[in-house]
């Protein structure tokens, strides 16, 4: 099992459970700093390595009028400020090859969205950026198919790879998580991440936006950690009802610490098997 270096810590091969967390999208600097600072305090108390996440552009919204974020230039300025003030690594999405070079100057982890995980040119360009690359498994893909994604990244010279599960399509507007996914994807030699909040999303379930069932996040997180993951990905908000996107599946900030305590306890049981 390869370990992935992010900032001053490593993910994988029995290292401490890491967390990639923050709001879905950059809504405003003050709010993002509030959320990120609180998560950093929580993870600091629990000894969890932390990466701040937020998107500068959500290019795959259900509706043309859905909130997408501040855009590349302003978004990267905000992410750099968050990185400098909180002193934490950053992960954010890219949707086009042209975004990769400027994003790699700020982000420690470049994330490939699930819908784009088969885009060869995008993967190859991300692989050559020098950043860690986190690829979300498409809702339409079997976990074994992610071996081809890893091979594409290898062709671009990348060996700092994370693979993320975020549920598989099960009928219309519904996702399920197959716990076999985690050992299958780990068999490719790289750490695996569980996206606990997008996995309870109901894509397009509210007509012009996605719905979600956040009440199931704790169950799935505990199960995934028990099945053997190296990191968790969660979208967190101080008031999800006010969130400008993905509110129905986001974790309340004041509920995060208890959930992470459960995850850590389970991780300690299975950690010896994750090498």
Question: In angstroms, rounded to a whole number, what is the distance separating the alpha carbons of residues 75 and 171?
Answer: 35
Question: In angstroms, rounded to a whole number, what is the distance separating the alpha carbons of residues 3 and 25?
Answer: 28
The two structure tokens encoding residue 57: 């552009």
Q: What pLDDT is attached to residue 212? A: 77
**Residue 2, C-beta contacts closer than 8 angstroms, at least 6 positions apart:** 12, 13, 159, 161, 189, 190, 191
In contact, 26 and 245? CB cutoff 8 Å: no
Q: What pLDDT is attached to residue 206? A: 58
Q: What pLDDT is attached to residue 254? A: 97
pLDDT tens string for the chain (275 positions)? 899 999 999 999 999 999 999 999 999 999 999 999 999 999 999 999 999 999 998 777 666 766 677 899 999 999 999 999 999 999 999 999 999 999 999 999 999 999 999 999 999 999 999 999 999 999 999 999 999 999 999 999 999 999 999 999 998 889 999 999 999 999 999 999 999 999 998 876 656 567 778 899 999 999 999 999 999 999 999 999 988 888 889 999 999 999 999 999 999 999 888 87
DSSP element (H, E) containing 53? strand 50-53
Whole-model pTM: value is 0.95
Question: In angstroms, rounded to a whole number, what is the distance separating the alpha carbons of residues 272 and 275?
Answer: 7
The two structure tokens encoding residue 184: 């299958």
Using CA atoms, how far residue 208 sits from 64, 115, 202, 215, in Å, is 9, 18, 12, 22
Closest C-alpha to 250, from 187, 258, 105, 242: 242
Domain ranges of the chain: 4-273
Q: What pLDDT is attached to residue 186? A: 97
Q: What pLDDT is attached to residue 84? A: 98
**Cα angle vertex 55, ends 159, 201, to 5°?**
95
**CATH 3.40.50.300 is right for the domain spanning 4-273:** no
């Amino acid at each position: 099992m390869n370990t992935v270096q992010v900032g001053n810590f490593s993910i994988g091969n029995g290292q401490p459970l890491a967390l990639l967390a923050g709001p879905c999208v950059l809504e405003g600097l003050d709010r993002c700093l509030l959320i990120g600072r609180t998560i950093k305090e929580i993870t600091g108390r629990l000894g969890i390595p932390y990466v701040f996440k937020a998107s500068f552009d959500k290019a795959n919204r259900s509706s043309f009028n859905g909130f997408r974020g501040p855009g590349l230039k302003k978004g990267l300025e905000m992410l750099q400020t968050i990185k400098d003030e909180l002193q934490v690594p950053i992960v954010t999405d890219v949707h086009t090859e042209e975004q990769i070079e400027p994003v790699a100057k700020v982000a420690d982890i470049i994330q490939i969205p699930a819908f784009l995980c088969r885009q060869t040119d995008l993967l190859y360009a991300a692989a050559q950026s020098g950043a860690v690359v986190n690829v979300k498994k498409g809702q339409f893909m079997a976990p074994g198919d992610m071996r081809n994604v890893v091979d594409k990244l290898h062709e671009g010279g990348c060996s700092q790879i994370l693979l993320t599960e975020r549920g598989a399509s099960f009928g219309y507007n519904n996702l399920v998580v197959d716990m076999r996914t985690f050992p299958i994807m780990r068999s490719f030699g790289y750490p695996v991440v569980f996206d606990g909040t997008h996995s309870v999303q109901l894509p397009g379930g509210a007509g012009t936006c996605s719905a979600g069932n956040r009440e199931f996040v704790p169950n799935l997180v505990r199960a995934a950690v028990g099945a053997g993951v190296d990191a968790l990905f969660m979208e967190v908000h101080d008031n999800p009802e006010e969130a400008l996107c993905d509110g129905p599946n986001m974790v309340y900030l004041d509920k995060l610490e208890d959930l992470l305590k459960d995850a850590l306890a389970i991780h300690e049981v299975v950690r010896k098997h994750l090498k």
